[in-house]
Amino acid sequence: MALVCGLLSASPFIFSQIWRFVAPGLFRHEKRIAIPFIFLSSFCFVGGAAFGYFVVFPPAFRFLVGYNNEFLTSLPAISEYFSLATRLLLAFGVIFEMPIFMVFLSKMGVVNVSFLNRNRKYAILINFVIAAILTPTPDIVNQMMMGVPLMVLYEISVVAVWLFGRKGFGGFEVSEKEVEKV
């Protein structure tokens, strides 16, 4: 419990350390996004963990104890309860980082809006495979409760890449005159 609480409360420091590792390789104009990066990364991680705990965790736990009947009584140990909560907190904290990760990939020239729009069908498949792997319970309801937010986060990522990503084709800066020539 102390590890998870420490990870959540130290997330601003962790993201600032990640930034300090990446920052020396960047130009001065790229470094000015440090404070927004640290703030948004921490906000997304903590927001994802809160979403997982308050929205997804109650139905997941109800599913696990839903097999109670007159012959079978569920008696989950505190370690099992804690393990389920920890996995959900960390999984949702990480997946809520998707928009920031996509903007980062866009700044590096790996993805752009047209690429994301063109490959949406593959993103849907990959998101639901990730949801099936990360959800601790094997029911479709909990997988949907992770898959649907992943799709919403993908759409937010497309908008974020459109707003903040590198403007160009294939990772190269392109002026409006060059676009008109093409």
Task: Quote the number of domains for the chain.
Answer: 1
Structure confidence by residue, pLDDT tens digits, 20-46: 888 787 777 777 776 787 788 888 988
Task: For residue range 72-125, list pLDDT tens digits in order.
Answer: 777 777 887 787 788 888 888 889 999 999 988 888 888 889 999 999 999 999
Rounded CA-CA distance 3/46 in Å is 15
Give the pLDDT band of residue 169 (cuts 50, 70, 90).
very low
pLDDT for position 180: 52
- Tell me, letter by letter, the H, E, C secondary structure of the chain: CHHHHHHHHCHHHHHHHHHHHHHHHCCHHHHCCHHHHHHHHHHHHHHHHHHHHHHHHHHHHHHHCCCCCCCCCCCCCHHHHHHHHHHHHHHHHHHCCHHHHHHHHHHHCCCCHHHHHHCHHHHHHHHHHHHHHHCCCCCHHHHHHHHHHHHHHHHHHHHHHHHHCCCEECCEECCHHHHHHC
CB 100 within 8 Å of CB 41? yes
Amino acid identity of 155? E
Cβ neighbours for 165, distance < 8 A, ≥ 6 positions apart: 102, 103, 106, 107, 111, 112, 113
Strand partners, 173: 168
pLDDT cut 90: percent of the chain above it: 22
Domain that holds residue 108: 2-181
